[in-house]
Amino acid sequence: MRKSKGDNVMKTLTITKNNFDSEVMNSDKPVLIDFWAAWCGPCKMVSPVIDQIAEEVTNAKIGKVNVDEQPELASAFKVMSIPTLAVIKDGKVVASGVGVRSKEEILKMLEA
């Protein structure tokens, strides 16, 4: 389900340890999380795609975790390389992937 141009545009959420439970674990929708860092070249390639998806999808939340600012979350998800993408449904990781992904691949992850 995609939004039309006139709808309220959902922006990408900044996920931190402070809002993780409310935005991710207690979400009634699947949540796609992009684990990234400012110094990461591949992350810079994925970031605009993640932002685009956040503007288009209505059936999921899209969030980003800066691994340098949120090391506890990166550790909890065993993030070893970035970008790492994870889809959480009902408090469980149902899909994940490491590295640059196409928009189509990321959207497929949301269908998992």
Cα distances (Å, whole numbers) of residue 19 to 15, 25, 60, 70, 99? 6, 10, 17, 11, 25
Q: State yes or no: is 70 an active-site residue.
A: no
Q: Catalytic site residue 40?
A: yes
Alpha carbon 81 to its chain centroid, in Å, reads 15
**Six-digit token pair at 33?**
């999380």
Catalytic position from the list 23, 29, 37, 40: 40
Give the whole-angstrom CA distance, residue 36 versus residue 95.
17
The residue from 43, 73, 79, 87 that is catalytic is: 43
The residues annotated as belonging to the active site are 40, 43
